[in-house]
Amino acid sequence: MLIYKIFRADEWAAFDASGETLGAPIDLADGFVHFSTAEQSAETAAKHFAGEDGLMLLACDTDRFGDALKWEVSRGGAEFPHLYAPLRREDVLWAKPLPLDTNGHRFPDGVE
């Protein structure tokens, strides 16, 4: 199963250069890397990245994380995937721009 992480341009650049990250500031504060499922991604973008352009959407396969990935109840009682380990560049299947248009963020086909 694929799960998704949204990074701002500077966060993505730092991660891409270093090859590993503990996540964005919110991830560091919470102690895990926040992910969303395809169905949760649009709401995550709207809630946490409203009006922000220059974002990157990363896709990862849940099988790569083993026991470090926990599904925990969050917003509205839904279970969200949380990674309790560093995210490594080799765990990212792809990274694509998440452009902003007049209707919000435009996700790649198959996500949402």
Annotated domain spans of the chain: 2-101
Rounded (to 5) percent helix, strand, coil in the chain: 35, 35, 30
Specify the pLDDT at position 74: 85
Residue 22 buriedness (CB in 10 A; 0-12 / 13-18 / 19+)? middle
Tell which residue, 71, 59, 60, has the closest CA to residue 32.
71
CATH topology classification for 2-101: ADP-ribosylation fold (3.20.170)
Specify the pLDDT at position 110: 82
Cα 65 from chain centroid?
Answer: 14
- The tens digit of pLDDT for each residue in 55-82 reads 999 999 999 999 999 999 987 889 999 9
